[in-house]
């Protein structure tokens, strides 16, 4: 994985540093993706990826994530079981909801700070 400065996706105007990873697709093409999050469900690690550009940049890809230690290349495994995929997708939705909730309150507090500075 490599780091990539990416300040287009969230629209907040701040510079963010995101890890990125290149997926090798079944048709032989490669797709550069931002690592949105690595999270655990039922004692297994999963990764959420979003393509940086192209027609699939609105999609999020979920994979089982295995990395023995920081020196090893990560392994991404497809989630074949429907119940497992649903549990992982639900967990990722909860993460997104929590981030949106936090951002909503961060924006409110920034507005309040601006009012008190004036």
Q: pLDDT tens, 64-84? A: 999 888 888 889 999 999 999
Number of structural domains (the chain) is 1
- 108: pLDDT strictly greater than 80: no
Domain containing 73 equals: 2-117
**pTM, full prediction:** 0.68
Q: What are phi and psi of 13, to 5 degrees?
A: 85, -5
* pLDDT, tens digit (0-9, with 9 covering 90-100), for 80-97: 999 999 999 999 999 988
Q: What is the pLDDT of residue 101?
A: 75
When pLDDT is averaged across residues 97-115 and rounded to a whole number, the result is: 65
β-sheet with 61-66: strand ranges across: 2-5, 17-24, 30-41, 44-51, 61-66, 75-77
Please tell me the predicted confidence (pLDDT) of residue 24: 86
Other beta carbons less than 10 A from residue 13's beta carbon = 6
């Amino acid at each position: 994985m490599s780091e990539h400065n990416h300040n287009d996706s969230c629209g907040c105007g701040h510079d963010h540093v995101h890890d990125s990873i290149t997926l090798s697709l079944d048709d032989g093409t490669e797709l550069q993706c931002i690592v949105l999050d690595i999270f655990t469900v039922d004692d297994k690690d999963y990764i959420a990826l979003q393509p940086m550009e192209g027609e699939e940049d609105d999609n999020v890809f979920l994979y089982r994530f295995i990395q023995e230690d920081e020196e090893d290349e990560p392994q991404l495994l497809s989630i074949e079981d429907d119940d497992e995929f649903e549990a992982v997708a639900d967990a990722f939705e909860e993460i997104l909801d929590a981030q949106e909730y936090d951002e909503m309150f961060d924006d409110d507090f920034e507005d309040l700070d601006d009012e008190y500075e004036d």
